[in-house]
Amino acid sequence: MLLKNKVAIVTGGAKGMGRGIALKFAEEGCDVVVNALHLDGAEKVAEEIKALGRKSMAIKADISKSAEVNDMAAQTIKKFGKIDILVNNAGGVSGVKGGDSSTATEADWDKVLSVNLKGAFLCCMAVIPGMKKQKYGKIINLSSMGAVNPAVSVLHYHAAKAGVLGLTTNLAFELAPFNIYVNAIVPGPIETPFWDSLQPPGPQRDAFFKALAQKEVPLGRMGKPEDIAGPALFLASGMSDYITGQVIYVAGGQPLLSHAATFLSAPRE
């Protein structure tokens, strides 16, 4: 039980990587607050966590609004007495079309940065005072491969996720004396509902995923939420107690490896 007696908040925990992280934490003894913009999905995951024998609470909160974020932190402390772990997973580009220099608008920029960067900032600010008081905390921020190695131009989203990396290193430096660890995960292409708005599930998307994995990912496959949950568990647990301010690429070999650097590109006999 790597997280026995710990309490975590996982934002965007109703589906995809957030759900995978929340369930993995619960399996390791953690009580988990599941945050989402829509309560139904969060409640379903909370019930899954309870079925694993842990305590859980679903909280609907828009992470871009400080009042709702602060209330979420207050509710967590009221129920569980503390917050040991924060996973800033919530984000995305819902309702935004395009994003390169010819299509991005000021309104889209404000909306996307508000959720993906401001939201992470607000959640950190809400939990840091309690973590300072207990002289312990683990903060894990989810960035994006597009922040460091974009395959397409999505200015607002990728800029926001690059900002998350800056937020991570600055907070890690500031909070190290308080025994608060702040690290980031950069996911590669992961099969999650994030893709639903871009391409509906079905044979066409399956073929796209297969082609993408074979062309872009040295390991030759798309990632699953469970592939992110493992590194998140490592960063949330005592196994990473001498690690802070770091970025872990969980991306099947991206971006540092290319097919040219592996045997995948060699003729097969």
Render pLDDT for 21-48 as a digit per residue (tens, 0 to 9): 999 999 999 999 999 999 999 999 999 9
Q: Which range has the worst mean pLDDT, 50-59, 60-69, 211-220, 251-260?
A: 251-260
Residue 258 predicted with pLDDT over 80: no
Tell me whether residue 94 is in a domain. yes
pLDDT mean over 224-249: 97
Tell me whether residue 216 is in a domain. no
Strand-pairing partners, residue 183, are 140
Residue 212 predicted with pLDDT over 80: no
Tell me whether residue 265 is in a domain. no
CA dihedral 120, 244, 231, 55 (to 10 degrees): -60
How many helices and strands in the chain, by DSSP H and E? 8, 7
Residue 220 predicted with pLDDT over 80: yes
> Residue 7 and residue 229: Cα distance in Å, rounded?
16
Cα–Cα distances in Å, from 134 out to 78, 138, 164, 176, 180? 15, 12, 25, 13, 10
pLDDT value, residue 257 = 67
Identify which of 90-104, 114-128, 200-214 has the greatest average pLDDT: 114-128
Tell me whether residue 203 is in a domain. no
pLDDT by residue (tens digit) across 43-84? 999 999 999 999 999 999 999 999 999 999 999 999 999 999
pLDDT mean over 131-135: 98
Tell me whether residue 207 is in a domain. no
Tell me whether residue 46 is in a domain. yes
Residue 265 predicted with pLDDT over 80: no
Residue 254, both tokens: 């991206």
> Does the reported pTM lie above 0.85?
yes
pLDDT mean over 200-229: 85
Q: Which range has the worst mean pLDDT, 9-13, 118-122, 152-156?
A: 152-156
Instruction: State the chain's mean pLDDT as an integer.
Output: 91
Domains in the chain: how many in total? 1
Tell me whether residue 97 is in a domain. yes
pLDDT value, residue 196 = 63
pLDDT value, residue 168 = 98
CATH value at residue 16: 3.40.50.720
For 3, counting Cβ atoms within 10 Å of its Cβ (0-12 exposed, 13-18 middle, 19+ buried), the class is: buried
- Tell me the catalytic residues: 157
Domain limits for position 187 = 7-195+223-254
Identify which of 4-18, 181-195, 200-214 has the greatest average pLDDT: 4-18
Tell me whether residue 264 is in a domain. no
Q: Is 125 helix (H, G, I), strand (E, B) or coil?
A: helix
Residue 114 predicted with pLDDT over 70: yes
* Share of residues in the chain with pLDDT > 70 (%): 93
